Each structure stands twice: as C-alpha cells, then as structure tokens.
Amino acid sequence: MAIAAAAAVLVLAADTAAAPAAGKGAVCPAVWKAGWVKLAQKIDAPVYCPTWMPNPLDAKIGGQWTDIYSIGKDRSYLVSFLAHGDLGSGDVHVNFRGYPGRTAIPKCATVAIEGNRVVRGTVNCFADPRGTLKVGSILATVYTVNQDADQWHVLYAWHHAGSLYTVSEHVIPPYTYAQVTRNLKKLMHSLVLIEPAQ
C-alpha cells in the first residue's frame, strides 16, 4: 500500500509541478549551474541546462541522481540522470547529449546473437521521427526509436550553432509514452543555454 501511494504521489507531482519558462530572465538554478558551465567549458561549446526535471530527478551534475557523465574524444557528451524506483515507484531516466561541430544523426553499432552466431551492423542512433516541437529558437524533432543509452526513450533532437543536441526520457513505469511526452515538452520549455565563456 505504501509503495502504491508513493508511486501515485510521484506521478501527481510530475504532472502538477510548475515548469519555469525558459524565456527572458530564466536562469539555470544556482545549485545545478556550476556543473553545466564546467561541461560547456570542457567541450568548448554551448550546452543546455534544464530548469525543470521530472520528479524526483534534479539536474545537478555530480549530484545524487547522476548516472552517466561522459565526454568523448570528439567532445560529444552524455549526461544522464536516473532514479531507480527501488520501492516500486518505477524508474525515471533522462539523458542529455551534445555533439559539438556536427549535426548529422550519429550511427550506433548493433550486435545481435542469433543462434550460435553474432550479427553486427549499424543503425541511426535516433530514428522514427514523429513530428516537431518549436520552443523559442529551438526546432526539435521527436524520435521514438533510439539506441544505446536512449533505447526505449522518447528523444527530442535539435541543431544550434552547427551542433546537434538531444534530450530524452525513458518510457517505463511510472511514466507511459503519453506522460513522458508531456514531461519532455515541459523540460524542453525549461532549457537555458549556457555558453562556455559564462
């Protein structure tokens, strides 16, 4: 009963939390900002700091919900926040990616074990576009079939200053596809651009 109640509270909180608009005057929350500024400086490119996250996550890099913080040799990054619902409330998993200096959708390796042989290939990391979302200067494409850390996620991808950026959330209880889509729209509206020089 307690578990069910916890899950219900989580969903309710996610649906009713106020989403700060990322319009004029919106700023990256002070406790989150340092990590995002450091990331921008490290890759020498702008990054997007969210000002809202689905409950219970925050976007403090290095905080309790950080799952992956990875920067590649090509300066591409993956910042992942994950809450395991160990008490039965379900997982909440949000990924942020950036690919400085390129806008093409990256390729992901596929490996399938079929019988006693290994079948290798590549596919687009983000596929099955399903419409777009315009938020301020961002025109994001919604992708529903994604790979690697974004597998089973809904993902929004957009270009800025010659770079590709994405944000995605896992479709897994307690969040259905419809709820994840609502979360991501709210999250997209909350994004604040952080320049490396800041």
Closer to other proteins at the Cβ: 27 or 119?
Answer: 119
CA 153, CA 133: separation in Å to the nearest integer?
17
- Judged on CB neighbours under 10 Å (0-12, 13-18, 19+), 47 is buried
Q: How many binding residues for other proteins (CB under 8 A)? A: 22
Distance CA 114, CA 119 (A): 7
Residue 25 vs 115, nearer CB to other proteins: 115
Is position 197 an interface residue for other proteins (rule: CB under 8 A)? no
Q: What are the backbone dihedrals phi and psi of residue 29, each rounded to the nearest 5 degrees, phi first?
A: -50, 140
Residues 144-183 within binding reach of other proteins (CB under 8 A): 144-145, 151-154, 171, 176-178, 181
Q: Cβ 127 to other proteins, closest distance in Å?
A: 4
Peptide bond into 174 cis (omega under 30): yes
Binders of other proteins in range 101-140 (CB under 8 A)? 112, 114-117, 119, 123-124, 127-128, 130
Cβ proximity to other proteins: between 132 and 151 the closer is 151
d(CA 17, CA 121): 42
Nearer of residues 86 and 114 to other proteins, judged by Cβ: 114
Cβ atoms of 7 and 33 closer than 8 Å:
no
Taking the complex as a whole, the smallest distance from the CB of residue 190 to other proteins amounts, in Å, to 22
Radius of gyration of the chain (CA): 17
For the CB of residue 122, give the shortest distance to other proteins in the complex, in Å: 13
Residues engaged in binding other proteins (CB under 8 A)? 112, 114-117, 119, 123-124, 127-128, 130, 144-145, 151-154, 171, 176-178, 181
